[in-house]
Structure 1
Amino acid sequence: MSAAARPLTVLWGRLTGRTGLIISGPLLSPDAKPLIQPVLAAAAVLLGSFIVGFDTRLFSIGLPDLRGAFELSFDQGAWLSTVATAPQIFIAPAVPWLAATFGVGRVLFWPSLAYALLCLIIPSAQGFEMLVVLHALRGLLLGVFIPATIMIIFRRLPISWWVPAIAIYCFRLAFSQSVGVALVGFYVEHLGWQWVYWQDVILAPLIGLLIRAGTPPARIDIGLLERADWGGMALLGTGWALIYIALDQGNRLDWLQSGLILTLLAAGAALVIGFFINEQLVANPWASHTVIASRNVLLAFLAILCFDVASISNSYLVPNFLVAVAGLRPEEIGRPLVLGTAVPLVLLMPVAVMAIRRFDARLSLLIGFAAFAVAGELGTTITHEWSPWTFLPILLIQSVGQAFTFLAAVVYILANSDPKLSTSVAAHVQVLRLGGAEMGLSLMATLLRQREQLHSYLLGLHVSASSGTVDGAVQGLAGSFSGAGGSSQLATARGIGTLAQLVAREANVLAYIDGFRVSYWAALAGLLVVAFMGAAPKGPLTPR
């Protein structure tokens, strides 16, 4: 440990009384001075985190085009999406241990090259089975990058650099969600859908080069290898992966009406419970829950769950409304999302970093959740006439929430934890972030489907064949088809079909209003959680 870092860690241990180690090893490498190597290593993993954000977003937005290119059915496309993400959750909890044992260089260098090769050959793959195998391998390699990002930040950078580095890590999440829509539109419109994959043939090898230049040769930690908690890593990764598959497929298969979903949920829950039991029994627990078993940390995790639901208004509701209701393509909605969210984030993230360094992180949480609440309330006023640019005020307010909330929650968790246990805490943060986000998206998709069905039924009660108003509307709509040739009965049938489409459109609008209302209440719940948070103990991550 460097001379500058040792007093901070000792002081922290005296103040908090926490001295145990879950993953051994120095907080900073002995050659952290000069800082050129840690900076290159941080650049490598931060580039990896951007690749994860963009690839996940590009795949979800571009899935309809990919289904057409690969000639897949809707069900096959849905399973391909699940298979592309589940391995990320399976491997993510174990990456901090792998990096601590084998070295970050080994964990990142070869996977980055293998990832580039997979991205090169996937567009040429033939057959659904081959696509599933290749996307599963791609997801497994992709799952290495994000946990390695947190690992590099905590083990290679000085503590004074943690907040800006974590800010970049948090920034890529919202930035990729907004820019990804425009990028998919650009690729499909100008370069071809293959570039959804081929962009990483160029970017992924850069990660390998940077990580080689930024990390010195590391010896394998034989001690960690001998006392490895293989059972804990397998139980947590497999359990959360099964739960993710159930959540991702639950809306399509009607949840508890499906035996597959019931089995996946039960098996996943049993494995996660088995993980916590295992951590109590083994001599050297890999990620014991005791590292997060404090009131402030648990409340911060709850705040992240509230953020996951509140931020859905930005990542899911706005773009999906424009696709489902307005009938627009990604290339038509990308520019407003970039200007309304991505560009403000570039300006707001430095402000968020300065605010966290000078003021209590709880203040940033309050600002972020308040912004999400305002945006959610504005979202309840949408109509079918809203265009991408009409959402600009909502997007600008949401960008404030994206910039302040998640960053403040992560910093608050670290400020209430022992820095020597940061890699273990990071494993729990990553699992909760992935699991909470997927749970929020799955429940929101189910809510939209069920509320659309309910509103369609309620609106249909007012569309009666014996109503003079309905007859007049049908005749007016039929009149627009009468000049196109055909009988009057055909024109009337087309008029009735158009009226049914209008009812379905308004039912969709009402469902999305309900979705924004859920986002609003999640933001209020986040404000309530922050109200119960206590002050963090004095340390290197508390305000100056």
Structure 2
Amino acid sequence: MANIVSMPAHPTSVAMHRPLLAVFAVLLGPFMVGFHSRMFGIGLVDLKGAFGLSYDEGAWLSTLATAPQIILAPAVAWFAAAYGIRRVIVGPALIYAFISAIIPFARDYHVLIGLHIGHGALLGLFIPATLMIIFQTLPSKWWMSAIGFYAFRAAFTTNAGTGLLDFYVQHLGWQLLYWQDVVLAPLMALLVLKGTARREPNRELIRNADWGGMILFGSGLAMLFVAVDQGNRLDWFENGVIVSALLGGAALIVAFFLNEVFVAHPWASISAISARNVILLLVVSLFYLMSASSNTALVPNFLINVMQLRPEQVGSTLVIWACVPLIVMTPVTVWAMHRVDGRLVLFAGLCCFAGAALIGTGLTSDWSGENFRTMLVLQGAGHILTFLPVIAVAIANGDPKRAVAVAAYIQVIRVLGTQTAQALMTTFIRKGEQIHSYSVGLNLQRGSEISADAISAIGRAVASSGQSLAASRATAVVAQHVQKQANTLAYIDAFWLTFYCAMAGLVLLAFVTKAPRGPLSP
């Protein structure tokens, strides 16, 4: 297996004497993936209009454009170890650029789906290869800084993507969502070509390849992703497609684990993550994803869906109050990771999310972007204070000889864990809104004094439209207010949920022991 952790601190190959090029490649790939994923999710409404898609067709386009990422992502570290980073990145990046160039011209739905499936599969190669590039190319003293940039891009693209998409749509055209990668992907390929070493394929690793395990694992995870992504829209277990996808995905995952037990050379044996600290940190990362949804989902969705703000208004708020603190705190966090125990930095990050969630529990239906300033500052700082130490401490606690297997499970959490957190939060808010609508509605029953006075007052205000319509319009206005208040109460409950997730992460962190000495330990 490839040893990505105990790589030599000072590479001797001539091709490795260009570490800055490798650093730029490390930055460019994840930023490209992050911006595209965020803008695609937010811009789906514009894309449905541009491609002439119905609501259901747009929903399936989103799912089928993302699910292929998880088919290949867990195996990317193995492919890089077996065939070399150049072969994994350079050719696929050029194909990806070509597909990105032609997607905006597609109008047939089936062609569009096919292009997005290929597009998503290739997109899934770039982020998993990043850590391999870091550990195989850079001197060990630069590892923490490179991982810091890697962690930085996740929160930055999430918060800046809204504003960038609006700029494209308003000034340059929605096609730039795809066409930006026509330039960036070949540039990344060139940087990888110039900044990494040329080497021959690992014949022994290829000869002993666990192809069955890779196919079972990737296919099973993709089916689970489809179920999770479509579950909220199709009402989960009430829909046969969701039930079938869940059962099929679970069966393939069980088959994968059985394969790893009996195959001669397992690719990603579950024992690779059996170390106590690694398990705890992976679970902490799941709680981090849930608590971070207060930034990635709750704030922008409340401002857009409840307060009816335009994307550019939301985007500017997120850039100023979340991205700026993130930029400031990234070098500070890297500096701290070189000098103090990573668990203390992780503790500070989870506390930031807990504090932001507590502020969110004071939400009212009158809040605008300005009311989220303090919360966004805490969330921006919390992202880097949490994500960087989770990665660094988990790698420092892992077995270097089984790094490829560990990398497979990390990608599962990155893709499927993130989507599961978003789906659970969406379902939680939807169900909460229904419950609160019913509860608030009980106090506004027809004939009650409060509701009658409200409808009467609003009816007088809209009386110019005619007496026959005034009462019905007044009732509709009251219903809109009820729904708005129910949504606000549902978001308050969601902020409480993120607070409890952050606290659960802190409790588990208390059981994580100190990492052994190494390049990623202070």
Q: Where do 1:474-493 residues align within 5 Å? A: 474-483=455-464, 485=465, 487-493=466-472
Aligned equivalent of 1:243, options 220, 224, 245: 224
Conserved 8 A contact 2:163-2:314: yes
1:429 is displaced (CA, Å) by 1.1
Q: Distance in 2 between matches of 1:341 and 1:147?
A: 25
> Within the alignment, does 1:454 sit opposite 2:435 as a pair?
yes
Instruction: Please show how residues 397-408 of structure 1 align to structure 2 within 5 Å.
Output: 397-408=378-389
* 1:163-218 deviations in Å (ceiling 9; x for gaps): 11111111110000000010111111111111111111121110111111112332
Are the counterparts in 2 of residues 42 and 149 from structure 1 also a CA contact under 8 Å?
A: no
User: How do residues 125-524 of structure 1 correspond to structure 2 at under 5 angstroms?
Assistant: 125-483=106-464, 485=465, 487-524=466-503
Tell me which residue corresponds to 1:70: 51
Q: 1:274 Cα deviation (Å)?
A: 1.9
AA at the equivalent of 1:336: T
- Tell me if structure 2 keeps the 8 A contact 1:185–1:329: no
Equivalence for 1:526: 505
**Alignment partner of 1:384: what SS?**
coil
Instruction: Give, in whole Å, the separation in 1 of the partners of 2:506 and 2:333.
Output: 18
Does residue 44 (structure 1) correspond to residue 25 (structure 2)? The answer is yes
Alpha-carbon separation, structure 2, partners of 1:380 and 1:235: 43
Contact in 2 for aligned 1:25/1:100 (Cα 8 Å)? no
Aligned-residue offset at 1:31: 3.2
Asked if structure 1 preserves the Cα contact closer than 8 Å seen for 2:361 and 2:493, the reply is: yes
Aligned Cα RMSD in Å?
Answer: 1.6
Give, in whole Å, the separation in 2 of the partners of 1:277 and 1:88. 24
Confirm or deny: 8 A CA contact 1:32 1:157 kept in the other structure: no
Q: Which string of whole-angstrom CA distances, capped at 9 and with x for unpartnered residues, describes residues 47-91 of structure 1? A: 111111000000001111111111111111111110111000111
CA distance in 2, matches of 1:234, 1:387: 47
Structure 1's 155 and 421: CA in aligned 2 closer, same or farther, altered over 3 A? farther
- Report the Cα offset of residue 154 of structure 1: 1.9
Secondary structure class of the residue paired with 1:311: helix
In the alignment, what sits opposite 1:11? none
Q: Scaled by the length of structure 1, what TM-score is found?
A: 0.93
2:127 aligned counterpart, secondary structure: helix
In the TM superposition, 1:2-81 aligns within 5 A as 21=1, 27-28=7-8, 30-31=11-12, 36-81=17-62
SS of alignment partner, residue 179 of structure 2: helix
TM-score (norm 2): 0.97
Change (3 A) 1:377 1:349: same
Read off the aligned partner of 2:481 and give its amino acid letter.
Answer: L
In structure 2, do the counterparts of structure 1 residues 423 and 46 end up closer, same or farther at CA, with 3 Å as the change threshold?
A: farther
State the shift of 1:482 in Å.
2.0
Equivalents in 2 of 1:338, 1:265: separation in Å?
Answer: 37
Instruction: Tell me the number of residue pairs that the alignment of Structure 1 and Structure 2 aligns.
Output: 521
Contact kept, 8 Å, 1:536 with 1:542, in 2: the verdict is: yes
Alignment-derived partner of residue 13 in structure 1: none
Task: Report if aligned partners of 1:154, 1:162 keep a CA contact under 8 Å in 2.
Answer: yes
Q: Verify the 8 A CA contact 1:154 1:422 in the aligned structure 2.
A: no
Cα offsets for 1:291-320 (capped at 9, x unmatched):
211111100001100101000000000000
Percent of pairs with identical residues = 47
Measured in 2, the distance between the counterparts of 1:281 and 1:43 equals: 41
Match of 1:8 in 2: none
Contact map agreement 1:22 1:285 (CA 8 A) in 2: no
Unaligned runs of 5+ in 2: none
- 1:382–1:513 CA contact under 8 A, matched in 2: yes
d(CA) in 1 for partners of 2:27, 2:505: 28
Question: 1:102 pairs with 76, 83, 93, which one?
Answer: 83
SS of the counterpart of 1:144? coil
Instruction: Output one character per residue of 1:397-426: Cα deviation in whole Å (capped at 9) or x when no partner.
Output: 111210111111111111112334333322
Q: Deviations for 1:256-287, whole angstroms, at most 9, x for unmatched residues? A: 11111111111111222222222222222112
Change over 3 Å in CA distance of 1:351–1:367 after alignment to 2: same
Deviation at 1:342, TM superposition (A): 1.0
Determine helix, strand or coil for the equivalent of 2:126.
helix
Alpha-carbon distance in 2 for matches of 1:185, 1:525? 36
Q: Distance in 2 between matches of 1:44 and 1:59?
A: 22
Structure 1 residues 232 and 34, CA gap change in structure 2 (3 angstroms): closer
Is the 1:32–1:38 Cα contact (8 Å) retained in structure 2? no
* Alignment check: 8 A CA contact 1:415 1:536 kept: yes
Contact 1:383–1:509 (Cα < 8 Å) also in 2: yes
Work out the CA distance in 2 between the residues paired with 1:381 and 1:49. 35
Deviates further, 354-363 or 274-283? 274-283
CA contact (8 A) 2:295 2:376 kept: yes
Whichever residue aligns with residue 174 of structure 2, its letter is W
User: How far is the alpha carbon of 1:363 from its aligned partner?
Assistant: 0.3
Q: How far apart are 1:524 and its partner, in Å? A: 0.3
What are the Cα deviations for residues 313-336 of structure 1, in whole angstroms up to 9, with x where unaligned? 000000000111011121121111
